[in-house]
Amino acid sequence: MPRTAPLPCLLLGLALPLSACSQGEQGFGTTDEPTNEDEGTAAMEIDPAVVVIDEVAYEGNPAVSKAGTFTIRSVGDGTLRLYDVDLANTGGGVLYMEPYDDTLNLAAGVEREFTVVATLSENEMVTGKIRVQSNDGEQQLIEIPVEVYPVGWVADTGR
């Protein structure tokens, strides 16, 4: 009766010649070029330039809040990275912004809307500021003014 090699030995015998022909790792990871760098230039547009929240009710219990919005649009040919979009000045606690996840990445042509909420307790105009930090080379740190006006507000003309 002829003697045959056990199956594991045969498989091992086939694997050795196949591995001997291999030139090392191929496919993923064989390039020296970085793959996580941005391509293109990031640029943004913000609309409106001043966030106005008007006709905010200041009387009542509880107080009635009102929201205003602004939009950041990626207009460059690279990814716009928003590192920080938050209130730089809350107007004495009148303004609030909903927090979001860390860094936001907006591809070219993509926009994101943000909401600012105002809650007044007195019949007075209040101002605040929104801070935007990004990788836009022309405007890495900008501030957007926020103006809040109560219901029926008429600016004092000094008369």
112-156 pLDDT tens trace: 999 999 999 899 999 999 999 999 999 999 999 999 999 988 876
**From the CB of residue 33, how many other CB atoms can be counted at a distance below 10 Å?**
5
Cα separation, 88 vs 108, whole angstroms: 27
Res. 34: pLDDT tops 50: no
pLDDT of residue 60: 73
Burial class (CB in 10 A: 0-12, 13-18, 19+), 96: middle
pLDDT at 135: 96
Q: What percent of the chain is predicted at pLDDT more than 90? A: 59
Residues 143, 130: contact at Cβ < 8 Å? yes
pLDDT at position 99, please? 77
pLDDT at 19: 46
CB-count burial class (<10 Å; 0-12, 13-18, 19+) for 130 = buried
The answer, yes or no, to whether residue 58 has pLDDT greater than 90, is: no
pLDDT at 1: 52
Of 39-43, 94-98, 138-142, which range is least confident?
39-43
For the residues 93-111, what does the mean pLDDT come to? 88
- pLDDT at residue 6, rounded to an integer: 55
- String of b and e for 7-25 (b: at least 16 CB within 10 Å)? eeeeeeeeeeeeeeeeeee
Asked if residue 158 has pLDDT above 90, the reply is: no
Report which secondary-structure segment, H or E, holds 126. Answer: strand 126-134
